[in-house]
């Protein structure tokens, strides 16, 4: 009887290891790191966790097309400090948009997004890789 119970509970216990609230990478403050959708990173001794949620829009110019404008992709990330509220930040790839946003005394920055689009070929959500950086927020002068 106990064996059946253990077998029944095993998938539930092993599923907890992939919880998005459990950091999958430990990274250093002020250094770039890469995440796939659903992956998370704990930033050094900051108690800050960053989760790459999704790419909610991608209108970047395909690499095999000549465009007037570079286009933009919107990347959603969740951030949380151990004692704070979770916040969802939208970061953009375009130089004219918000590539970085503040949270809890830190600046969360989208450094890049791969792969680059190709004309007529959709990018599966699981193929995206975001490059991020978290730095200490500098006061405005």
Please say if the pLDDT value at position 17 is more than 60. no
Secondary structure E strands in 5-138: 25-27, 33-35, 40-43, 48-58, 73-81, 87-92, 100-103, 106-114, 129-136
Q: Is the pLDDT of residue 14 over 90?
A: no
pLDDT of 67 above 80: yes
Q: Which of 92, 3, 81 is nearest to 44 (CA)?
A: 81
Question: What mean pLDDT is predicted for residues 88-112?
Answer: 93
Looking at residue 119, its pLDDT comes to 94
Q: 75, 71, 53, 54: which is closest to 62 by C-alpha?
A: 71
pLDDT tens-digit map of 29-60: 999 999 999 999 999 888 899 999 999 999 99
Q: What percent of the chain has pLDDT over 70?
A: 82
The yes-or-no verdict on residue 20 having pLDDT over 70 is no
Domains of the chain plus CATH, in order, are 20-136 (2.60.98)
Give the span between the Cα atoms of 107 and 100, in whole angstroms: 6
pLDDT, residue 95, reads 82
Cβ-contact 41, 21 below 8 angstroms: no
Average pLDDT over residues 58-75: 94
Mean pLDDT score across all residues of the chain = 84
What DSSP designation does 2 have?
A: H
| pLDDT range class, residue 138, cuts 50, 70, 90 | confident
pLDDT at 22 over 80: no
Collapsed DSSP state (helix, strand, coil) of residue 32: coil
Reduced to 3 states, what is the DSSP secondary structure of residue 133?
A: strand
Give the per-residue pLDDT at 140.
67
Q: Phi and psi dihedrals of 73, rounded to 5? A: -125, 145
């Amino acid at each position: 009887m106990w064996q059946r119970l253990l077998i029944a509970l095993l998938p539930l216990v092993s599923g907890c290891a992939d919880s998005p609230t459990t950091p999958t990478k430990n990274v250093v403050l002020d250094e770039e790191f890469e995440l796939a959708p659903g992956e998370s990173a704990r930033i050094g001794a900051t108690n800050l966790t960053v989760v790459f949620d999704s790419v909610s829009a991608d209108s970047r110019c395909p690499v095999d097309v000549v465009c007037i404008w570079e286009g933009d992709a919107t990347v959603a990330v969740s951030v949380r400090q151990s004692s704070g509220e979770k916040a969802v930040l939208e970061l953009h790839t375009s130089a004219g948009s918000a590539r970085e946003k503040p949270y809890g005394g830190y600046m969360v920055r989208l450094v890049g997004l791969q792969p680059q689009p190709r004309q007529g070929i959709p990018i599966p959500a699981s193929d995206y890789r975001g490059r991020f950086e978290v730095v200490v927020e500098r006061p405005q002068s």
